[in-house]
Structure formats: structure tokens, C-alpha cells
């Protein structure tokens, strides 16, 4: 088995920085870039949430929807890509062998906020603070937790540590190109990434049970 080197890469859908002087203080880790949220309706955020849940085949925590809607939502997506597919895999006698090299964990983040709060700076700041904490967790998972975990995972050894028959190779590893849509990518997403993502979301909600009610009260106030 060649040695896989996993590295995280973060891509933001949000492009505008929040003009922080116009908003109350937002308490997020100092290394966190404070991008402005993208305004969405409650219906749009629910649709985005359901799409993610269906894509990765998981269930949310029992009180997640109640806490998250219609206040805000952080959408995270993970792609797994071999950086130089042609050099990292070799076929001999109808069997493919992994030769080692870099595998990118491409995290895409989008932070949304209730459009009813768009002209209420305090409410907008409350939503953004909560959602950026979710985003911070997702960044840590992609850049630290996953590279460390995958490098010693028996799941990864099962995929990369033994020859793969040519008839199974595209579905298992190549996907539609460089790993996109492959069984290898789905196994990382559903067996390792999503459980950790959901666990950290639950922990954040448990640590900050007052965020949801405070945001709802703020939005409902004149």
C-alpha cells in the first residue's frame, strides 16, 4: 500500500466580509474570517437542509430543526479527490494498486441567515455568531480531524491497501473522475465525516441552548 497523505481545503460560498463596525460584537475564534451571511427565507433554508440530509443519507438530531429554523443554517459539503489520479493508481494484470500521494478533502461552506433579520443588526449578529461557530467546527474537521483520522482508519486501508479488480475500479475509486461520486468518497462522507459533523453540531447546541430562543425573540420584536 502506498502512503496516502490527506489534506483539507476550505472553499467559501460566502464572498462578502461583514462590515463589523455596523454590527454588535460577534464572538468567534480569532482565526475565523467573518463572512457576511447570505439571506434566505425559512422555506429556502429548509430546502437546503433537506437536500444535504438526502445527499449524505443521515438524520438530524431530534431538536435540530427547531433550533436552527428559521434563524440560520450552515451548509457544509465534502468532496474527496486524488490530486494526481493517473500517477497514484497503476493497473497490472487487471488489478489496480494505490501508489501513494495526496488526497484532498475539499470542504465547501455556505452560511445562511433569516432574511427577516437583514435590517436588524443585533439579530443578524446573533445568527451569524452561532452559524460561524458551526463553520469553525466544520473547518477543524476537514483540516485536522479527518486528515489525522483517515491516515490510521481501517476503512481507508480496506480501500487503498489491497488490489482492486478492474471491473470494480470505476465504481469503487475513480467515480466520474479523480474520485468524484465513488464508493470511496461516499464511505468517507457517510461513515466518518457526517457522524463527526453531527456530533459537533449537537455539542454546540448543548453548550449554547439559549441561542435559538434569543434569536427568535429578537426577530419577533418590533
CB–CB of 66/73 below 8 Å? no
Q: How many residues make up the chain in this entry?
A: 222
Which long-range contacts does 60-63 make (Cβ < 8 Å, 24+ apart)? 60/198, 61/198, 61/201, 61/202, 61/205, 63/205
pLDDT of 176: 97
pTM of whole model > 0.85? yes
Note the pLDDT tens digit of each residue in 88-105: 999 999 999 999 999 999
CA dist 179 and 164 (Å) reads 14
Binned at pLDDT 50, 70 and 90, residue 222 comes out as confident
Compute CA distances 170 → 80, 89, 136, 164, whole Å.
Answer: 15, 12, 34, 10
Note the pLDDT tens digit of each residue in 38-82: 999 999 999 999 999 999 999 875 444 444 455 899 999 999 999
The mean pLDDT value for 108-128 works out to: 97
Question: Could you tell me which residues come within 8 angstroms of residue 57 by beta carbon, excluding any fewer than 6 positions away?
Answer: 190
DSSP one-letter string for 127-141: HHHHHHHHHHHHHHI
Note the pLDDT tens digit of each residue in 10-38: 999 999 999 999 999 999 999 999 999 99
CA dist 97 and 159 (Å) reads 10
Amino acid at each position: 500500500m502506498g502512503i496516502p497523505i490527506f489534506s483539507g481545503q476550505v472553499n467559501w460560498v460566502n464572498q462578502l466580509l461583514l462590515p463589523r463596525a455596523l454590527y454588535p460584537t460577534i464572538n468567534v475564534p480569532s482565526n475565523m474570517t467573518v463572512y457576511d451571511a447570505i439571506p434566505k427565507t425559512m422555506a429556502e433554508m429548509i430546502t437546503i437542509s433537506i437536500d444535504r440530509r438526502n445527499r449524505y443519507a443521515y438524520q438530524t438530531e431530534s431538536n435540530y430543526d427547531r433550533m436552527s429554523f428559521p434563524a440560520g443554517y450552515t451548509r457544509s459539503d465534502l468532496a474527496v479527490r486524488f490530486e494526481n489520479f493517473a500517477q497514484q493508481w497503476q493497473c497490472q494484470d487487471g488489478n489496480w494498486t494505490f501508489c501513494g500521494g495526496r488526497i484532498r478533502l475539499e470542504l465547501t461552506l455556505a452560511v445562511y441567515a433569516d432574511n427577516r433579520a437583514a435590517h436588524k443588526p443585533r439579530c443578524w449578529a446573533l445568527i451569524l455568531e452561532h452559524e460561524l461557530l458551526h463553520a469553525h467546527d466544520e473547518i477543524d474537521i476537514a483540516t485536522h480531524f479527518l486528515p489525522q483520522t483517515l491516515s490510521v482508519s481501517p476503512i481507508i486501508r480496506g480501500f487503498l491497501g489491497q488490489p482492486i479488480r478492474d471491473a470494480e475500479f470505476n465504481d469503487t475509486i475513480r467515480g466520474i473522475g479523480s474520485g468524484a461520486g465513488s464508493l470511496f468518497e461516499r464511505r468517507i462522507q457517510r461513515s466518518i465525516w457526517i457522524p463527526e459533523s453531527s456530533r459537533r453540531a449537537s455539542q454546540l447546541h448543548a453548550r449554547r441552548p439559549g441561542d435559538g430562543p434569543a434569536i427568535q425573540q429578537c426577530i419577533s420584536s418590533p
